[in-house]
Amino acid sequence: MWSWVLHRITGVATFFFLFVHVLDTALVRVNPETYDSVIETYKNPVVGLMELGLVAMVLYHALNGLRVMLVDFWSKGPQYQRVMLWTVLAIWFVVMIPAAGRIFYNMFAGH
């Protein structure tokens, strides 16, 4: 049940990110100086944490989407759905460690 709720939340959140991303990227055609100033406001730790959350959400949504497809279209999917959920969470955790490291590096050391 919670995986279903989290899948919906991550899907909606990703949609809203894409909506904002399209809007701020469209600024480059309207006024490049405004675009540059908007992008400059993104270079702070709060937005870095939001980026980390975005990566976490997209990764979970993608991995869980594969699990949902297997449950729906594989004859043994319902039988193994719990094992697949734990597998999704394990893969998510393993991939998030280097992703978080890279994002934190960009936030504090890189530029």
Q: Binding site for heme: residue ranges? A: 61
Known binding residues are: 61
Is 92:55 a contact under the CB 8 Å cutoff?
Answer: no
Write out the DSSP string of 7-57. Answer: HHHHHHHHHHHHHHHHHHHHHHHH-HHHHHHHHHHT-SHHHHHHHHHHHHH
